[in-house]
Structure 1
């Protein structure tokens, strides 16, 4: 933190000023901008895109599975989405404090009777939170871990596989997602998950380069059916 304070002081000193139309001086360069490297700005955008993409998927899942948000006792789909968005401030008591992979796995458990969309999406959102070190903005001294980002991307693959394959005892999918009927084909879920995987893999490669480590996407012939750890990685 002391280095950050010194850097901030130097940055503020280095800023030139110009005269505004109202006669007041304006900073010619945003000091906050100077505290960010190109990688930091990419990380800001990448994180925002991943989070908004996950919320879009949550909205789509609730639209296809309206009975799920009703299980949580909320009044609307919008209220259910708000619970996910405010996950740091409001608990989801039906999950018993579970997060990341443990929460996501509940969505595909035969014995779970709660909101399956909330379980899956809170799990994925908290994985992404952990992958981005629980930060919303990144600065010069902030660091990310490429393995966390990589595992988060692979967990998106696991979610896609489970949505299309995991079924209850009656042979029904736990959650409806992609529509494979040739007369009404809809692969929007798979496309959005694919976009998020690409963003996370791209960020993992950039972070590895920044950290001076080699990184290559491991080839997987079969997608794992188990969610990988994220927050516990070093």
Structure 2
């Protein structure tokens, strides 16, 4: 009898109990979300408030592409130790640091004169070039990447990136990767050693890392195309539906 009475009470009060449990669950979730948001804000940088999601993605993509490029530079110096010795610096680390600073600060490279971007890329892979070919090659690609992104490495709401230039940079890197494995001197020796396929083993890490850069650039191109396409579609829809455009 007591059990029956208890079940009856629980049945009648179940909606109230369920509501209380949901309220407690919602409160716990809200608190957790609040803590997550607070943690994300604390880990973020102030300038991120002036970036859209696309701006942030472009900034991170540029950061990762430059890091891939610097990794390739170190690997090329290991495969071609004679190159950094022609740079005039005491070691490969100093040479790499100098190239990196020149790329990020948009400074000219003495060995290339005033050449940048495509002109520097063509010259760095020509038999006529004399000097640190690894540094010149990496600098040329790095300067091309920065130029294709409007001369910036960080992006904010006031900036714009031309998706066609980003796509062109990706295609140029594909061509440069192929040329890297094909260009030879007058004696038939490769100008720079990179990928290797031989009886002793294979080393395709250069192609893989270049492929990562190309993939990031192509992804950014697609997102930028969609972003601007949606702006155009939203405007067309507003005209079709005779809606006034928001002003704030």
TM-score (norm 2): 0.71
How many Å separate the matches in 1 of 2:121 and 2:213?
17
- Which residue of 84, 99, 118 corresponds with 1:69? 84
In structure 2, distance between residues paired with 1:89 and 1:200: 20
Q: Relative to structure 2, which stretch is displaced further, 65-74 or 204-213?
A: 204-213
Judging changes above 3 Å, is the alpha-carbon distance between structure 1 residues 85 and 30 closer, same or farther for their aligned structure 2 residues?
A: closer
Instruction: Say whether the 8 Å CA contact 1:160–1:193 is kept in structure 2.
Output: yes
Higher helix share: 2
Which residue does the alignment assign to 2:75? 60
Moved runs in structure 1, 4+ residues, more than 4 A?
none
Q: Is the 8 A contact 1:160 1:190 kept in 2?
A: yes
- Residues 124 and 136, structure 2, Cα contact 8 Å, conserved in 1: yes
CA RMSD in angstroms comes to: 2.0
Q: How many pairs align? A: 187
Instruction: Report how far residue 30 of structure 1 moved.
Output: 7.0
Match of 2:95 among 60, 66, 80: 80
Other-structure match for 2:229:
212
Between structure 1 and structure 2, the one with the greater Rg is 2
From 109, 116, 125, the equivalent of 1:92 is: 109
CA distance in 2, matches of 1:175, 1:144: 33
Counterpart for residue 33 of structure 1: 48
For 2:170, what is the secondary structure of its paired residue?
Answer: helix
State the alpha-carbon separation in 2 of the partners of residues 135 and 90 from structure 1: 13
Shift of 1:173: 0.6
List gaps (5 residues or longer) in structure 1: 1-25, 214-234
Alpha-carbon deviation of 1:131? 1.7
Length-normalised TM-score, structure 1: 0.75
Report the equivalent of 1:44: 59
